[in-house]
Structure 1
Amino acid sequence: MKFRQLMVVTISLLVLFAFTACSQDTPQKVRLAEVTRSIFYAPEYVALEKGFFAEEGLDVEMTTTWGGDKTMTALLTGGADVALVGSETSIYVEAQGATDPVINFAQLTQTDGTFLVAREKVDNFTWEQLKGSTFLGQRKGGMPQMVGEFVLKKHGIDPHNDTTLIQNIDFANIPNAFASGTGDYVQLFEPTASIFENEGKGYIVASFGTESGHVPYTTFMARDSYMKENPEVIEKFTKAVYKAQIWVQEHSAKEIAEAIAPHFQDTDLSIIETVVDRYKSQGSFATDPILDEEEWNNLQDIMDEAGDLPKRIDYETLVNTDIAKKVMAK
């Protein structure tokens, strides 16, 4: 009888051990919504392709939601756990009286990612040359347009009075509009800017990222409730992001391009390398996940200058750096 009882206990313990081991080996799924697909987000794809998320026991399921409003809707309705989007969206949500705030916890890019592209080749470009031109800008209220206006005003140009400003074209259609003859200048993301230059459709004359200074341009964020319910997941996620940021800093543009190429199958590898090198050399990729207070204030100054800041939100209200600092300390 004792032998039989001992066997039952032993088998029960083995089953429990097997179940526990199995549970520990099962990756935690994280649904990630990125605002668009862009080489600008290279460290994110490095984290996926180099297995940094997997090393932390996370199964990251990434979806491209194509637009800040759609990304934030996915996050707020529970369709995504984490979002990669501009920090201005968290301010808009908070200003509307959100009961479950969206918290910025890990920064990915720290400058604007757009470039000024001229239709004709310009020697000795100066911003003054935009006066009297037709400028094809970005959607009102979005970070590209706000940064664009901030930079132009910094150089003494009122985009609404000194240029014929066009900003009623959908983000996805702006390159086609310029290619078909609309505008003398256009504000474009990569790799479109470099592709246009290669094809003779336009010429990069300036970088909005270099001109605007550091801002939390794209940040990983999550609902406050999700972060409180899943602190270990957020910490592991941030650790994987930090690993990717270090890897990007320590490797060449060519190596980075080769790593992220599976996410840009329609783009030539040489173009990817050119774009990565351009972003890396101007310091667009954040070197760590901390969003600092100076960047946060710079963001709100830019939004205010554009007339799109609903109200100022304290840094501590929507930014959590405790996780990033803990990860970096380890």
Structure 2
Amino acid sequence: MQRFHLTATGHNINYLPQYIAERHGFFQEQGLDATFSIPQPWDGVLDDLAEGTADSALGGIWVPTMYHNRVTNYTVFAQIANRCPLALIKRGPSQDFKLADVAGATVLMKSGGGASVGLFFKMLLRENSIDPKSVDYIQDLDGVMLGNLFQGGMGDYFVTDILSARTMADRNPNVSVAMEMVSQGDVPWSVYYRETATITDEVLDKQKRFLAALAKGIDWVLQRDAESFKNELAELFPTVPVQVAVDVTNTFRHNSMWTSPLIPRGGFDRWQLGLVGARLVKDPLAYETLINDVPVLAALKAKSDQS
């Protein structure tokens, strides 16, 4: 067995196929002793890569994008989440809600896990011809704190992860989920990357085997209604009502959250334009500048040959 250590920015339901691959021995089938950690604060993943204690980081592609040719170059080699896992909560019922309704409102957006929440929401506004500057934001506080403040009367809307949003709406009849952003098109939301300078043939081979197991995990989830593995969901997300976890998983299954470890060019290009709009980079990076798809293509070919 070869060790493959992954350092991740959090424990999220959009990482579910990876957790399934671990629980069902798919990594071991590829000769990998896969281990996982979540540093605090989240940007410790970069320290883990720099110190060589991790084979890969898992997090937002906006980090490798903004670091490129400025601090450290990272190579992205796959994705796990193909859509945004956030949701927008509002006060009262959500019938007839339109995204344009947020203009002139105050929107709370959780922080603590990076900048992705604000980056995506403001990109979505621009894509829908809504000036992000027409909205007031409160976004430099912890998600739990903001959730409590929102329910206590602060602001008009709250952007948070879909599990938290559905749990809040399930428990609080005074709020509702206005939009689930998994329905809002492809972006490589959660990706795997490491320092470009550290990539060797051995690294590429380990990445290929890791991705073969991940692809099997994705297929496993897509082929099963979440009700059939609700006990696993309960163990993975013990603080969430199990039916909420089941329903969110099925929503993700049916809305292209998980497709393939291969990053689609269309989603990549869209997210790059969003990062330009956020001023993280001056110009969008080309696909080949940031991504090496050789390991994932090799993994998918091997999977196809075995079918």
User: Fold conserved (TM > 0.5)?
Assistant: yes
* Pair 279,78 (structure 1): closer, same or farther in 2 beyond 3 Å: same
* Pair 277,302 (structure 1): closer, same or farther in 2 beyond 3 Å: same
| Aligned position for 2:38 | 64
Larger Cα-atom Rg: 1
Q: Specify the SS of the correspondent of 2:239.
A: coil
Distance 1:221 1:276 in 2: 25
Residue 305 of structure 1: how far off its partner (Å): 1.7
Residue 165 of structure 1: how far off its partner (Å): 1.6
* Pair 77,257 (structure 1): closer, same or farther in 2 beyond 3 Å: farther
Residue 62 of structure 1: how far off its partner (Å): 0.9
Q: 1:39 aligns with which of 13, 34, 44?
A: 13
Of 120-129 and 223-232, deviating more is 223-232
* Structure 2 contact 102–135 (Cα < 8 Å) conserved: yes
* Pair 139,303 (structure 1): closer, same or farther in 2 beyond 3 Å: farther
| Aligned position for 2:140 | 168
Distance 1:284 1:66 in 2: 26
| Aligned position for 1:149 | 122
Distance 2:65 2:186 in 1: 18
How large is the RMSD of aligned CA atoms in angstroms? 2.1
The amino acid of 1:324's aligned partner reads V
- Cα deviation code 1:120-141 (max 9, x no counterpart): 2232111222122211124497
Residue 298 of structure 1: how far off its partner (Å): 1.1
* Structure 2 contact 111–139 (Cα < 8 Å) conserved: yes
| Aligned position for 1:327 | 299
Q: How many residues align?
A: 299
Q: Which TM-score applies when normalising by structure 2?
A: 0.89
* Structure 2 contact 205–295 (Cα < 8 Å) conserved: no
Q: What's the % identity of the aligned pairs?
A: 23
* Structure 2 contact 14–80 (Cα < 8 Å) conserved: no
Q: 2:235 aligns with which of 262, 265, 271?
A: 262
* Structure 2 contact 143–160 (Cα < 8 Å) conserved: no
The amino acid of 2:277's aligned partner reads E
| Aligned position for 1:278 | 251
- Cα deviation code 1:256-313 (max 9, x no counterpart): 543343222222321210111122222112x211113222211110111222225433
Q: 1:94 aligns with which of 43, 68, 71?
A: 68
Q: Any residues of structure 2 matched to 1:75-154 within 5 Å, and which? A: 75-98=49-72, 101-139=73-111, 142-154=115-127
Unaligned segments of structure 1, at least 5 residues: 1-26
* Structure 1 contact 103–318 (Cα < 8 Å) conserved: yes
Distance 2:28 2:282 in 1: 39
Residue 243 of structure 1: how far off its partner (Å): 0.6
Distance 1:305 1:134 in 2: 21
* Structure 2 contact 8–59 (Cα < 8 Å) conserved: yes
Distance 2:94 2:238 in 1: 32
Is 1:294–2:266 an aligned residue pair?
yes
The amino acid of 2:284's aligned partner reads R
* Structure 1 contact 106–289 (Cα < 8 Å) conserved: yes
Q: Specify the SS of the correspondent of 2:7.
A: strand
| Aligned position for 1:18 | none
The amino acid of 1:123's aligned partner reads Q
Distance 1:151 1:192 in 2: 20
Q: 1:234 aligns with which of 202, 207, 215?
A: 207
Q: 1:317 aligns with which of 281, 286, 289?
A: 289
Q: Which TM-score applies when normalising by structure 1?
A: 0.83
Q: 2:178 aligns with which of 198, 205, 210?
A: 205
- Cα deviation code 1:236-257 (max 9, x no counterpart): 1111111111111111122354
The amino acid of 2:124's aligned partner reads V
* Structure 1 contact 45–260 (Cα < 8 Å) conserved: no
* Pair 78,69 (structure 1): closer, same or farther in 2 beyond 3 Å: same
Residue 66 of structure 1: how far off its partner (Å): 5.3
* Structure 1 contact 110–283 (Cα < 8 Å) conserved: yes
The amino acid of 1:125's aligned partner reads F
Residue 148 of structure 1: how far off its partner (Å): 0.1
Q: 1:222 aligns with which of 176, 189, 194?
A: 194
The amino acid of 1:115's aligned partner reads A
* Pair 66,267 (structure 1): closer, same or farther in 2 beyond 3 Å: farther
The amino acid of 1:88's aligned partner reads W
| Aligned position for 2:23 | 49
Distance 2:99 2:138 in 1: 18
